[in-house]
Structure formats: structure tokens, C-alpha cells
């Protein structure tokens, strides 16, 4: 009675602190609370009176720094850190950030969260001019641009370079004199400023990392902004005026920790509201509401409260899955041996169950969980998804670039229902999603990027344009997309 749980992954979390004698250790704790944003590798670079020193490796943060001396070695009053999720299969230490660059005339460290959409073009152009890349990372591109800029100051060179890159990015840059944060013109990725009791400033991908280190929230970094933190405090500048807020809606739906706030909205609350709205949009009579742990528990409890149907623990996740190296053989798998998720037959047997999940990517996971519940004796399984169907690829950092992997791009809701074996299936509407999250910005979808649901990309697609058009045509031939 167990099944694999899906993984929809995002790229990376970043954290930085300027002005605290235990900067690297604070980084460790901040990154630890961002570990859900990337498990492939981690690193920290500290600034010890102008001399940058770093440590990075493949693995979870606790593995990378399993020897305490690695943290103690990173002395200094400032540090930036990174946890990485790998999009491509290139699990080389060369791709683990922050990158540390030492030139004859300056030192810099860089960390990046997001995905550039003109990276291939920029990289090819730079290589033609003699540039040598050592990683597959977009981060290195920015470094080449900064070094080649003819502007007179580092800040000017950085600003010029930020204007050359397109897509989604939240950068942290550490120099001997300052910690710099920069956000793309659409603010796809969250980036928050906090302050410690001693006055030190902190930059972090999510506010949960501020909480963990005891920092007070100061403000969110806005699209097109650069934050410069140094011994004089922090200062905000803009490198472009051509901005429009488009926060990745999947941060609310799936990625971010429920205790984080994004643009002033608590993630758990947003999810619970989506669950409530889903109960209004797609009600059904049943004995219980269950959520798929862990990301759908908030939405499930919202659905339960709104509908008045009891909320039960019908699925249990093994908390020790993170690093399981040995897998069942094909034979054992067929025999029902699975490891991550269990259906609680003592709870669901003979019952009509509403199973709330946050999204459906390929459908294979949903199919397994429905099967799991039925094997455990559930009489009916009604699937309710607390977001709209994922129909379009994302080029801004979510690992769904390949549209062919999206079941909703190829099948109707009824076809999906049949595929996953549910007794009924409903998705939350686009409007329902936008209104449940409740942003109020003067921008499309009130400031949310909903592109994977609607195809309304907030930017030109640059390197991805051609492929995307081709794919789109093929899909439309088979199954014209309709919301």
C-alpha cells in the first residue's frame, strides 16, 4: 500500500549575511531551512576581511558540512551560500555554487537561483570571443559579462551585465566590500531582506530562512532591483525600469515552505484558501478528505473545513526517504513493494475518499496513489487538484521544460481521470488560483506568473522560442489546448 511520490523540482535556494562574526554558521542554518529547494549540492563562501574562502560539494548540506571544521574554517563577517537542484543531469562538483573567482585585480563569489533564457546565445557569443566555461551554470555567464564590461566601477559593470541576461534570476554576489543581491525584471523568484538583532543584514530565498536565524523581515526585493549591503547598511538601486511583477505561482502551490511569506502572503494560508475554493468549485459527497503529504496537507485541510467533511490521515509518508539508495527490483515492485508513501487501510477501507493534491505533472504519481488507496480498500477516490492543469512548459526555473511530459498538454480532464483511475477529478480554476493566493498587484494575474497554466509567458522566450513553437504545433494537432 505504498507508492512513489512525485517530484516537481525547482532550482536552488540562496542565503547571505553581512555583518556577523559567525556568518558561515548562520549561512549553514539558513541554507538548512532552504534544503527543500535543492538537494544535489551545497556550498558557502565567506569573506574574511577581504579574502574569500569557500567550501562546496555534492550532497545534502549536512553531508557537505558533516565535518564541523569545514564550517569553522570559513571565518569572516560575511558569507553567501547556495543549495542546488540540478536540472540537467550534470551532477559534477563544478556546477555546485557559490562560484568563487579570484582575479589578479578582484575577488568575487556568485550564487544564482533561476534560469536564464538567453544563456545559450550568450555563451556561444562569449566562447567565440575566447571565453572558457568550466560549468554548465548560468552563473558563470554573468561573471564573464561582468569581467568583459568596460564600465568603470564594479557596480556599473554588474548593472550592465544584468541588463544583458534574460529570464528568471535571483543573484547573490559577495565581494571583499559588499554583499549584493539582484532580482530579474519580473521578480519570478522570491528574495527577502531581513535583519538580525545585532544589525547585520540577511538576504534569503524564503522568509522561513529569516525566521530560522532569528532575523526580522525588512522587505522583499522588487523586480529590477539591486540591494547592496555593506558596513554602512543596505541600499537599493534599480538596474532597469522595465519591470513587471510576475511571481512564480508554483512557489505558493508547491515549492515554498508553508511557513514562508511571499509578497506578504503566507504560503500555508494561500494553500488553505486554494483548498477552500476548490471545495466550492468542485464539491463532492464523501466520508473523508485526505491530503498527499507533505505539500498538499494545507489545501486538504482547507477543503475539509469548507466542506465540513472530516480531515483524515489516509496517506503516510516515510520520513526517512530522503536518501534511499536501494530500490525494489521489478519483481518486488509488481508485488507491491514500495517505499515512500503508505495508504492507511485502517482509515480508508470501505470509505469514499477525497484525495487533495497540489498538481499533476505526468499523472504517473497520481495514478499510483489512487491505486494505493483502492488497494487499501477505499470505496471511491475523488481527486481534487488545488491548481489548474499544467499544460505549458516553464523556462524560468521549474523542471517542466519538456511539454511532452505534461499529461494535461495531451489529455482532457476526463481522459486524465481515466488514466489515473479516479472516480472523479477536478482542478482549481485559474481565477480560483489567483484569487485564493490573493495578490493585488497591477499586473497580469495580479502579479503571478501563470504561464504553465495559461501559456501567457511574461517575456519573449529567446533561446527557447523555436523549440516551443514546434512543440506547440504538434500538440495542437493532436489535442488543441483549451483552458
Where in 147-176 is the site for a copy of itself (CB under 8 A)? 147-148
**Using the rule CB under 8 A, which residue among 89, 132, 241, 330 binds a copy of itself?**
132
User: Residue 198 CB, nearest distance to a copy of itself (Å)?
Assistant: 8
Stretch that binds a copy of itself, among 240-248, 308-316, 406-414, 430-438 (CB under 8 A): 308-316
Where in 323-342 is the site for a copy of itself (CB under 8 A)? 323-326, 328-329, 331-332, 335-339, 342
Count of residues that interact with a copy of itself, criterion CB under 8 A = 92
Residue 299 phi, psi dihedral angles, 5° rounding = -65, -40
Stretch that binds a copy of itself, among 236-244, 317-325, 351-359, 377-385 (CB under 8 A): 317-325
Q: Does 61 bind a copy of itself (CB under 8 A)?
A: yes
Q: Is the backbone peptide bond immediately before 294 cis, with ω within 30 degrees of 0?
A: yes
Instruction: For strands 247-248 and 352-357, give the pairing.
Output: unpaired
> Which is closer to a copy of itself, CB of 315 or CB of 394?
315
Is the distance from CB of 422 to CB of 382 less than 8 angstroms? yes
**Of residues 12, 248, 394, 449, which has the active-site annotation?**
12
> Which is closer to a copy of itself, CB of 236 or CB of 322?
322
Stretch that binds a copy of itself, among 136-144, 380-388, 436-444, 471-479 (CB under 8 A): 136-144
Burial 162-198 (b: 16+ CB within 10 A, else e): bebbbbbbbbbbbbeebbbbbbbbbbbbbbbbbbbee
Stretch that binds a copy of itself, among 44-52, 194-202, 389-397, 408-416 (CB under 8 A): 194-202
Stretch that binds a copy of itself, among 133-141, 224-232, 237-245, 440-448 (CB under 8 A): 133-141
> Which is closer to a copy of itself, CB of 308 or CB of 480?
308
> Which is closer to a copy of itself, CB of 49 or CB of 104?
104
Q: Does 118 bind a copy of itself (CB under 8 A)?
A: no
309 DSSP assignment = P
Residue 415, C-beta contacts closer than 8 angstroms, at least 6 positions apart: none
Q: Is the backbone peptide bond immediately before 185 cis, with ω within 30 degrees of 0?
A: no
**Using the rule CB under 8 A, which residue among 17, 46, 74, 131 binds a copy of itself?**
131
Rounded (10°) angle between helices 364-375 and 413-420: 50
> Which is closer to a copy of itself, CB of 60 or CB of 416?
60
Where in 70-109 is the site for a copy of itself (CB under 8 A)? 71, 93, 101-105
Where in 350-389 is the site for a copy of itself (CB under 8 A)? 376
357 is in an annotated binding site: yes
d(CA 207, CA 30): 10
d(CA 111, CA 99): 7
Sign of the Cα pseudo-torsion (326, 68, 199, 170, in order): negative
Residue 180 phi, psi dihedral angles, 5° rounding = -120, 135
Stretch that binds a copy of itself, among 4-12, 55-63, 173-181, 409-417 (CB under 8 A): 55-63
> Which is closer to a copy of itself, CB of 197 or CB of 242?
197
Give me the 12-41 binding string for a copy of itself, x by CB under 8 A, dash otherwise. ----------x--xx-xx--xx-xx-----
Q: Verify whether residue 248 is a known catalytic residue.
A: no
Where in 261-290 is the site for a copy of itself (CB under 8 A)? 261, 265-269, 272
**Using the rule CB under 8 A, which residue among 140, 357, 399, 463 binds a copy of itself?**
140
Is the distance from CB of 393 to CB of 403 less than 8 angstroms? yes
Task: Report residue 308 as a C-alpha cell.
Answer: 465540513
**Using the rule CB under 8 A, which residue among 12, 40, 53, 65 binds a copy of itself?**
65
220 is in an annotated binding site: no
d(CA 253, CA 25): 31
Alpha helices in 83-220 (DSSP H): 119-128, 138-148, 154-164, 207-212
Task: Report residue 19 as a C-alpha cell.
Answer: 555583518
Task: Report residue 53 as a C-alpha cell.
Answer: 574562502
Strand runs (DSSP E) across 38-116, as ranges? 41-48, 51-58, 78-84, 99-102, 107-116
Where in 425-464 is the site for a copy of itself (CB under 8 A)? none
User: Residue 103 CB, nearest distance to a copy of itself (Å)?
Assistant: 5
Nearest to 365 by CA among 5, 18, 41: 5
Instruction: Supply the Cα-derived Rg of the chain in whole angstroms.
Output: 23
Is the distance from CB of 67 to CB of 34 less than 8 angstroms? no
Where in 200-229 is the site for a copy of itself (CB under 8 A)? 208, 211-214
Active-site residue list: 12
- List binding-site positions for Mg(2+): 295, 357-358
- List binding-site positions: 295, 357-358
Amino acid at each position: 500500500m505504498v507508492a512513489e511520490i512525485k517530484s516537481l523540482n525547482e532550482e536552488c535556494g540562496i542565503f547571505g549575511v553581512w555583518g556577523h562574526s559567525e556568518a558561515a554558521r548562520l549561512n549553514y542554518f539558513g541554507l538548512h531551512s532552504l534544503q527543500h529547494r535543492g538537494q544535489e549540492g551545497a556550498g558557502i563562501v565567506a569573506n574574511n576581511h577581504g579574502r574569500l574562502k569557500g567550501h562546496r560539494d555534492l550532497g545534502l548540506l549536512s553531508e557537505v558540512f558533516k565535518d564541523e571544521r569545514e564550517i569553522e574554517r570559513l571565518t569572516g563577517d560575511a558569507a553567501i551560500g547556495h543549495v542546488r537542484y540540478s536540472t540537467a543531469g550534470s551532477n559534477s562538483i563544478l556546477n555546485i555554487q557559490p562560484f568563487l573567482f579570484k582575479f589578479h585585480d578582484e575577488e568575487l563569489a556568485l550564487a544564482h537561483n533561476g534560469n536564464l533564457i538567453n544563456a545559450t546565445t550568450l555563451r556561444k557569443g562569449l566562447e567565440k570571443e575566447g571565453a572558457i566555461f568550466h560549468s554548465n551554470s548560468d552563473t558563470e555567464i554573468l561573471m564573464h559579462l561582468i569581467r568583459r564590461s568596460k564600465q568603470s566601477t564594479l557596480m556599473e559593470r554588474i548593472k550592465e551585465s544584468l541588463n544583458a541576461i534574460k529570464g528568471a534570476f535571483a543573484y547573490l554576489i559577495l565581494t571583499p566590500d559588499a554583499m549584493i543581491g539582484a532580482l530579474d525584471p519580473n521578480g519570478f523568484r522570491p528574495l527577502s531582506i531581513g535583519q538580525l538583532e545585532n544589525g547585520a543584514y540577511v538576504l534569503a530565498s524564503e522568509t522561513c530562512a529569516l525566521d530560522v536565524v532569528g532575523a526580522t523581515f525588512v522587505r522583499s526585493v522588487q523586480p529590477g532591483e539591486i540591494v547592496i549591503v555593506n558596513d554602512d547598511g543596505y541600499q537599493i538601486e534599480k538596474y532597469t525600469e522595465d519591470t513587471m511583477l510576475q511571481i512564480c505561482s508554483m512557489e505558493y502551490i508547491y515549492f515554498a515552505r508553508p511557513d514562508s511569506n511571499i509578497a506578504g502572503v503566507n504560503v500555508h494560508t494561500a494553500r488553505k484558501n486554494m483548498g477552500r475554493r476548490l471545495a466550492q468549485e468542485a464539491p463532492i459527497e464523501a466520508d473523508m478528505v485526505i491530503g498527499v503529504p507533505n505539500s498538499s496537507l494545507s489545501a486538504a485541510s482547507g477543503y475539509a473545513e469548507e466542506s465540513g467533511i472530516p480531515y483524515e490521515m489516509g496517506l503516510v509518508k516515510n520520513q526517512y526517504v530522503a536518501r534511499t539508495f536501494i530500490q525494489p527490483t521489478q519483481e518486488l515492485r509488481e508485488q507491491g513493494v514500495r517505499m515512500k508513501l503508505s495508504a492507511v487501510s485502517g482509515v480508508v477501507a470501505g470509505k469514499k475518499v477525497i484525495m487533495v493534491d497540489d498538481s499533476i505533472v505526468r499523472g504517473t504519481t497520481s495514478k499510483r496513489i489512487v491505486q494505493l488507496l483502492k488497494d487499501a480498500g477505499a470505496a471511491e477516490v475523488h481527486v481534487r487538484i488545488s491548481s489548474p492543469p499544467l499544460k505549458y512548459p516553464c523556462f524560468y526555473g521549474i523542471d517542466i521544460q519538456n511539454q511532452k511530459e505534461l499529461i494535461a498538454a495531451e489529455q482532457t480532464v476526463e481522459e486524465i481521470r481515466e488514466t489515473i483511475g479516479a472516480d472523479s477529478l477536478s482542478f482549481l480554476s485559474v481565477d480560483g488560483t489567483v484569487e485564493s493566493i490573493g495578490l493585488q498587484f497591477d499586473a497580469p494575474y495580479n502579479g503571478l506568473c501563470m504561464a504553465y497554466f495559461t501559456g501567457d509567458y511574461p517575456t519573449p522566450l529567446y533561446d527557447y522560442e523555436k523549440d516551443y513553437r514546434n512543440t506547440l504545433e504538434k500538440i495542437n494537432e493532436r489535442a488543441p489546448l483549451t483552458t
